[in-house]
Structure 1
Amino acid sequence: MGQDDPEEDRVIRELIVAVSNLHQMESILTLTRISDGRNRDRRFNLFDLLSEPAQNAFSRAAKTRVLQDGQVVYHQDEPGQEMFRIVSGEIRLFFHHPDGRQLLFTTYKSGECFGLLSFLDGLPSQYGAEAYGEVTLQVLGQRQYQMLRAQHPIFHDAVVELLCRHIRGLTTFVVDARLDDFTQSLARRLLESARLDADGRQVVHQSQAELSLLFGVSRQTINKTLKQFEERGLVEVEYGAVVLTDIKGLRRARRRSMP
């Protein structure tokens, strides 16, 4: 971190510690069954928090990196040397447990930033990141980061805001993990992940195998719960996707466990 403003650096360090502590809680909870599932809708898009001059300065300072499907951005336990903003495509974060289990922890989409915590505190990343489909990234190193902080004070404010949003999201995640059963968690995930398709349907473009990785449960558990939803007319399961047919019913399932 820069030495020009010790108070600002102290605030960021405290935020990093808070988020890191929440990450430790997540690592335990996500091994049981659930994902973060928050519908961010560009909530972690740095550009939403920057002025146009600061956006342009970021784009000039950042390097462009194009990744192919499955290509690794960084490995779990690798020290953070860069922060990333997604120009197009999708990035997935994976957690690998020593016993061999793998969890698809979360996904980041176009406009969103990731890799920020390890980049700021210099500690090893708790998750690995890889491309899902072709991805274009903007990549910022430490020297460019410090330059932007010095030239555009709003950049510092935006980073603090992103960290605060991480804390809020992770706090909600921990509460949901403690209080929701699996049916509620899956209903929430479907509601928050659905997007309109060309036919005007609300569709979640994730296979049952991908959902099982997100929740840390077996594919059979996902299949059983989706069949329960289908029997109640809440969803229709297609190849590699789930179509939401009763939004209000899913919201009721989100609020209480299904019999």
Structure 2
Amino acid sequence: MSLIHPTALVDPKAELAADVSVGPYSVIGADVRIGAGTTIGAHCVIEGRTTIGANNRIGHHNALGGAPQDKKYAGEPTALEIGDGNTIREFCTFNCGTVQDAGTTRIGNDNWVMAYVHIAHDVQLGSHCILANLATLAGHVHVGDWVIVGGLTGVHQFVKIGAHAMAGFQTALSQDVPPFMMVDGNPAKVHGFNVEGLRRRGFDAARIAQVKQMHRLLYRNGLTLEQSKLEIAALKGAVEGGDGDVEAVLAFLGASRRGIVR
């Protein structure tokens, strides 16, 4: 029995693995490629140069691969790439990239994307992230792995969110969020670090204590950003397995262009 519902419209040029399921009234465009084990719900539109990996669960009424919401876009052949094992719930919109940036909007693996989430052009979303209902990522936003974005949160264009960070409900983010930090509010402020998330991901007590120290150096000790960076760099070698955490924070701070949430 075919796994494509008879009311679905799948362009003959589209490339779908043999076990891809497509629900009623969905539309799949010519330049779409979909990997094994992926399921597409009812009333979805998947268009553009969109590549979707294996074992994704895409719910009803999603619009993936549409043109970027950018007035400079002039029909250039940009793309959307979605990895493996993602859950994308109802009424989400993911746009293709623009030639002014990478040209490709990228979604990693094993993300949990709830209803009404918007991922704009050129967003680079890592893996193992949770985006709650109505989270909105504007163009050119970069999000690291294991990030949680709360419901009704808006992220300004070009903002970067570091790995293991968390943004609470209705947060307005216009500046970068360093790795591990927890933010909320409008304007956003840092309120501690994501200790529970780190425990769940297997960080031992010593690594968590070092992350806590980095939080203090950035936000509690009254240091300038440059002083904080020097103090954080001095933590290298102090904790087994912790140097990668220190390097991740330093690299993020060095690459920040919008400034960090303070």
Q: Point out which structure has higher relative CO (alpha carbons under 8 A, 6+ apart).
A: 1
Query: Could you say whether these structures have the same fold, taking a TM-score greater than 0.5 normalized by the shorter chain as the test?
Result: no
TM bracket, shorter-chain basis: under 0.3
Judging by fraction of residues, say which structure has more helix.
1
